[in-house]
Structure 1
Amino acid sequence: MMNVQTWFTAQECAGMPGFPSGVSNVRKQLEKLAEGLDGVRRKRGGTKATEYHISILPARTQNYLGYSNKGQPSMGVEDFKTKSGLANDEKQALWMMIYQGMTEAQREAVMEIFITGGLKMLMPAVLELSDSNPVRQKEIFGQCDSVEKDSPASNVSTQNKAG
């Protein structure tokens, strides 16, 4: 039987899909993912390293590591929080509802667009992919176009007034 790794350090997660390449940034992200959850963080024996359970890693990372069993999806952080009775954040629940309402193609597009273009690129692109009413899409895009445009700053002298 193959030994399956279920605990990972920030060093091991650095550069994996869903994580930045810098270890300190990975550590911050892992701490945020583990926040408020019991049993998902432990010290690695004989070292100062902290290990994090596979269940809190993003779905992309779990898939990369081969933890999405066909017909038996791996338990993600959302499932862990729900089973632990910790899904009390209404905003998080709303985002999860939105995410779960997307098709798999839309989810993949969301991740790719967010990683490459950030939030400004994400939202219009996700709306274009949706199967919702085209009239509603035009209304949303119309609201975006009606927002007051930024104007350039007035001419400012860069010369030192003292000399």
Structure 2
Amino acid sequence: MKRALLIAVAAVGLMAAEPPPTPDRPLPDATQEARARALFADIRCVVCQHEAIADSPAGIAADMRRLVREEIAAGRSDKQVRDDLVRRYGDFVLFTPPVRAGTWLLWFGPLAVLLVVASGWLMLGRRRRDETLALSPEEESRLADILASEGVRRDPDAKASDD
């Protein structure tokens, strides 16, 4: 019974696995293939998100590589290929998204956070720098009288020879 259950679980696991991607077929023209490989390094895998489609083993990355090769073979420019991928997947698909109103937070957000934190630290540091005012001569004499009347030494660690 346990063996049959184990086989059933393994079969379900195999059915749920993604099929392996079809092997890449390079373009016959070496110049076009070089262009395609250069584009592969600039395009992010939408599944892995931290890898270029050139390095990603995901099936969608293989599909994206195939699409790029097809568009290059059709005579499209690198900009047209990138624009088509952005149309399909959004700016996220590019490792270096364009600077425009929709991506300002992506480009300038870290700098803005850094400036806010730095200004907060600066304001906090200035707030803590309250200088104590020097005692007036009247206060000095009054303090000396209090210390003398109570027998308290100015410095508790001082010895009689330190006076």
- State TM-score, norm by structure 1: 0.26
Q: Looking at secondary structure, tell me which structure has more strand per residue.
A: 1
Q: Looking at secondary structure, tell me which structure has more helix per residue.
A: 2
Which gives a bigger RCO, structure 1 or 2 (Cα 8 Å, sep 6+)? 2
- State TM-score, norm by structure 2: 0.26
